[in-house]
Amino acid sequence: MKRRDSRCLIPSALADSRHFSIADSTVTKLKQDAPSLKFQTRQVLRTRPLVAIDIDNAAKSYAGKRVLDGVSMRIDKGEFVAILGPSGCGKTTLLRLLAGFEKLDDGSIALGGVEVSNKHFTLPPEKRNVGIVFQNYALWPHMSVGDNVGYALKIAGVGSSERKRKSLDALDAVGMRDLSERAPADLSGGQRQRVALARCLAANPSVMLLDEPLANLDVHLRASMEKEFLGFHKRTGATMLYITHDQSEAMALADRIAVMDKGRLVQFARPHELYREPRDEMVARFIGNGLILPASSIAAASQPGQVMAEVFGTPHRVRAPLSGRAGAQLSVHPNDLALANDDGEGFSATVERVVYRGSHNQVDFHPDAMPELSLTLHAPLDRAVAPGHAISVRIDDGWVIPAAA
Ligand SMILES: Nc1ncnc2c1ncn2[C@@H]1O[C@H](COP(=O)(O)OP(=O)(O)OP(=O)(O)O)[C@@H](O)[C@H]1O
């Protein structure tokens, strides 16, 4: 594989003296530990890059099975990025590579402009200035909250008054300063997770890696912790990489979401772009209960970015990529489909099931032109529909998925 010129990790366009994304202490350690990186560390001190994490063509196999297949991703300093994907797609492997727990088979990883992994070299985890929060927050039960937060600083030889100040600052950032004397056993699950965040923060990492940190919490606590995470990110400005397989959590939290499937990065985009303009069928189905309809006879409409597409025998105005070839699949969400008046504007379908959802009825139905396809729309409560009813369905919005390159 082509290896990047390690002498030129930081493009000059990204160089900016206002930004410093790796701690001085880490750079010093890097110089001592990796003589071959000396030139690069001098580059870091001079250029101070905006890119916090640069993953270039990362590849990893276990027992001959490729679990990461050429993943490339650039994450800016201060960004909150979620890695989203089905079980087994390689999310945790990517995080472990970033943390330095695993070796790369190919490609490279740079943190703050300093290459920390390639297939020949892996900087050990303790030298990366990376903080990690797991779903199992593993606090020491015999230590107070404050001591848990300050423990890593103690091991690093930070004096007691400095340690106390840093621990209390970190607890402040997660709204837990008043509970510093408590034992972990006397905290709720959400509070314990906040202590784990504070513990990570106290070490002042340049990057925070979070592996499904809310997975063990109940649904109400998860919702309130989402708010906590957002506030925490805003206050600290930390670069955060957040692994989850919960797409609604990723949508609520992240500046950008990297969707992975079978060891590959499928799409890396802002949440609304993933929802409105999925790159392929996997992303379309994964985000927002997406549905796929067959589209044909696609022809340009009067406005740029819009086309007329035939779906189940009726024409619909939908969105399509401005460049490249449109494919034969239309991505829609239940909210994009509506019960039409019987004036021929929609496609004909038959109701299978109606579920009361409080604010609306969820109507499951199948198109008469394709009875094996089960779809869903949300209908107003005052619209009477029942299983077996013939309905017309309008498509208010949809996106023609680009044809595979
Ligand atoms: N140490 C290992 N040895 C062998 N196979 C492994 C090892 N670690 C991970 N794998 C395999 O690599 C693939 C990716 O695993 P990984 O844990 O990265 O997925 P994931 O997306 O984090 O999944 P989940 O959401 O279930 O945690 C899986 O098929 C897994 O079985």
Q: Give this complex's ipTM.
A: 0.97
Ligand 1 close to Cβ of residue 62 (< 6 A) = yes
Same domain, 106 and 156: yes
Ligand 1 atom nearest to CA at 95: 18
On whether residue 31 sits in a domain, the answer given is no
Same domain, 76 and 188: yes
Question: Which of 243, 274, 305 lies at the terminal end of a domain, its last residue?
Answer: 274
On whether residue 45 sits in a domain, the answer given is no
Tens of pLDDT, residues 3-29: 333 322 222 222 232 233 333 344 344
On whether residue 218 sits in a domain, the answer given is yes
Same domain, 343 and 371: yes
Question: What confidence category does residue 158 fall into, taking pLDDT thresholds of 50, 70 and 90?
Answer: confident
Print the domain residue range for 127.
54-274
Ligand 1 atom nearest to CA at 93: 18
- Residue 49: the pLDDT is 52
On whether residue 139 sits in a domain, the answer given is yes
Same domain, 111 and 209: yes
Tens of pLDDT, residues 39-52: 344 344 334 458 89
Same domain, 238 and 158: yes
Same domain, 312 and 361: yes
Highest mean pLDDT among 122-131, 153-162, 392-401: 392-401
Which of 90-99, 242-251, 348-357, 366-375 has the least mean pLDDT? 242-251
Question: What confidence category does residue 32 fall into, taking pLDDT thresholds of 50, 70 and 90?
Answer: very low
Ligand 1 close to Cβ of residue 93 (< 6 A) = yes
* CATH code for position 240: 3.40.50.300
Same domain, 159 and 127: yes
The b-or-e profile of 6-28 (16+ CB within 10 A means b, else e) is beebbeeebeeeebbbbeeebbe
Burial bucket for residue 178 (CB in 10 Å: 0-12, 13-18, 19+) = exposed
For the chain, give the mean pLDDT: 83
Contact 379, 360 (CB under 8 A): yes
Ligand 1 close to Cβ of residue 85 (< 6 A) = yes
Query: In terms of pLDDT, which residue wins out, 197 or 38?
Result: 197
Question: What confidence category does residue 232 fall into, taking pLDDT thresholds of 50, 70 and 90?
Answer: confident
Same domain, 94 and 218: yes
On whether residue 195 sits in a domain, the answer given is yes
- Residue 304: the pLDDT is 83
- Residue 16: the pLDDT is 30
- Residue 367: the pLDDT is 97
Same domain, 242 and 106: yes
The residue-averaged pLDDT of 154-174 equals 86
Question: Which of 274, 307, 325 lies at the terminal end of a domain, its last residue?
Answer: 274
Phi, psi of 109 (to 5 degrees): -130, 130
Burial bucket for residue 302 (CB in 10 Å: 0-12, 13-18, 19+) = exposed
Contact 255, 79 (CB under 8 A): yes
- Residue 48: the pLDDT is 45
Tens of pLDDT, residues 300-320: 877 888 999 999 999 999 999
The residue-averaged pLDDT of 219-237 equals 78
The percent of residues in the chain predicted with pLDDT above 90, rounded, is 50
Tens of pLDDT, residues 342-355: 666 889 999 999 99
Same domain, 398 and 258: no
- Residue 349: the pLDDT is 95
User: Hey, whose CA ends up nearest to atom 12 of ligand 1?
Assistant: 67
Same domain, 247 and 108: yes
* CATH code for position 385: 2.40.50.140
Contact 297, 309 (CB under 8 A): yes
On whether residue 9 sits in a domain, the answer given is no
Helices H, strands E: what count in the chain?
Answer: 10, 21
Question: Which of 210, 239, 274 lies at the terminal end of a domain, its last residue?
Answer: 274
* Cα of 84 from ligand 1 centre, angstroms: 14
- Tokens representing 62 are 């276990």
On whether residue 301 sits in a domain, the answer given is yes
- Residue 34: the pLDDT is 41
Ligand 1 close to Cβ of residue 245 (< 6 A) = yes
Same domain, 210 and 299: no
On whether residue 15 sits in a domain, the answer given is no
- Count how many domains the chain has: 2
